[in-house]
Homo-oligomer: A and B are copies of this chain.
Amino acid sequence: MAPFRYKLRVRFNECDPQSVAFNANYLTYIDIAITDLYRQHFDDSYAEVMESNGVDVVVAEANLKFLAPARFDQEIEVALTIERLGNTSMEASAVICCEGAELVTAELRYVFVDIASWKKTPIPDQIRETMAKFGPA
């Protein structure tokens, strides 16, 4: 099933006076894609999965390479692979493409935290099992 693929269209307000998507928006695009992975592959929504497991997720690290720009109204695709499931952290890679060309590649590290203490906590089994389906080929 890997990678998980999500398509979206670049919005006018996401483009800057260079007429390309502003760099910070790619981090947002990756966040939107991973939210959709939860929506598609869990029985509940992202918020409900987190709440019922007593956890939340924070981004601990993000490394991005910007290879080519996305422009207003272009449809781009975010492809997500869950590269590693540790005890409390999850590593993902993302490739954002447009018409077959790579625009941005990214590596992300997420950490699961207890919803009450906001301290690191093991990845809940339900999340671990589902995310494992999107591991590298």
Contact = CB atoms under 8 A, between A and B. Distances in A.
A59 B106 CA distance: 14
Q: Chain copies in the assembly?
A: 4
Given A59-B23, A60-B65, A64-B62, A31 B18 contact: no
A129 interface: no
Q: Give the contact-size bracket for chain A.
A: 35 or more
Contacts of A69: 58
Contacts of A134: none
19 contacts: A11-B28, A11-B32, A12-B35, A12-B46, A13-B16, A13-B24, A23-B27, A24-B24, A24-B28, A45-B73, A46-B73, A47-B73, A58-B66, A58-B69, A61-B63, A61-B64, A61-B66, A62-B62, A63-B64
